[in-house]
Chain A
């Protein structure tokens, strides 16, 4: 029997698949990224429907409840993604700063 929480999880995953397709159609992500995200969310749906698949995995990490495993796994994933987004934003900021400052100094004949 599928619980309410599972329904929410499945619904969320379908919404994310829709967003993946939408971003691909808008040209914001490439084909490989689209496929990757669709596969990730499809796997998520599969795991949400058949959580027992993770039982052995959870036992290896001494986690009794599957729900706890998912929460811990999700948290690790979110932290990793936030860290990646932070580095990426910093890199973009630096590039933008360099570009704008170089452009401002372009007309001036300055010695480096």
Chain B
């Protein structure tokens, strides 16, 4: 199975380099989508691209959001012949050491979607832990599928699953939408344990994002 790694990146000039260098040893094709960064991310990526043949860098002229960047990356990967993609964050929260677990699950051909799951009871701020669990329980109640780490961006989808899911979210709601549509379309899925890394001052889901996701969840319950 041809597998590519897709990384959406926004203003990650310091962290994206080490992440890509670590990924270099895996030998997997990597597609990074610079989502309209205003710092030196694009410059850093351009330098790394010269050094690595397996690295493809795409750029959104304006910031569209994580979901849109993931979509651009996935379309590029599938268009170039990939059978599945693994999504990772560009800030170093996801470790390449966990990639074999996703690859193994995908190569078994038993699953269309593989969700990464962090051990949330260890090293995760309480507010984020509670928010994450609330989202998981809410989705389980409304859609009948419990995903233990709903907001973890470390996950994989096959081409078939991607076409079915075809997410519309451009922002942080993408992970929730993927899980909901996985349940809705009864796609075969599993969870793999991944390392929990929480960095200081890390960007991520804000209270406003969480509120918007909540509205989206209700909307999907009505529309899907």
Task: Name A's B-contacting residues (CB within 8 A).
Answer: 93, 96-97, 100-101, 103-105, 108, 110-112
Contacts and interface: CB of A to CB of B under 8 A. Distances in A.
Given A96-B64, A101-B60, 14 more contacts: A97-B68, A101-B64, A101-B72, A103-B61, A104-B59, A104-B60, A105-B76, A108-B58, A108-B80, A110-B75, A110-B79, A110-B80, A111-B79, A112-B79
B85 interface: no
B33 interface: yes
B72 A104 contact: yes
A101 B81 CA distance: 19
Interface of B: 33, 36, 56, 58-62, 64, 68, 71-72, 75-76, 78-81, 170
Most buried by B among A97, A105, A110, A112: A97
B168 to A, nearest CB: 9
Contacts, number: 44
B89 to A, nearest CB: 19
A70 B56 CA distance: 60
Contacts of B62: 96, 100
B79 to A, nearest CB: 3
Contact of B61 (A100, A108, A110, A111): A100
Contact of B79 (A93, A100, A104, A108): A108
Given A108-B80, A110-B80, A100 B60 contact: yes
Contacts of A105: 58, 72, 75-76, 79
Given A96-B62, A110-B79, A104 B56 contact: no
Nearest to A101: B72
A105 B36 CA distance: 14
User: What are the 3 tightest A-B residue pairs by CB atom distance, in nearest-first order?
Assistant: A110-B79, A104-B58, A101-B72
A7 B33 CA distance: 56
Contacts of A100: 36, 60-62, 64, 68
A104 B31 CA distance: 12
Contacts of B36: 100
A30 to B, nearest CB: 27
A18 B61 CA distance: 37
Instruction: Name, among A96, A101, A105, A111, the residue most crowded by chain B CB atoms within 10 Å (CB to CB).
Output: A101
B52 to A, nearest CB: 16
Nearest to A104: B58
Contacts of A112: 79
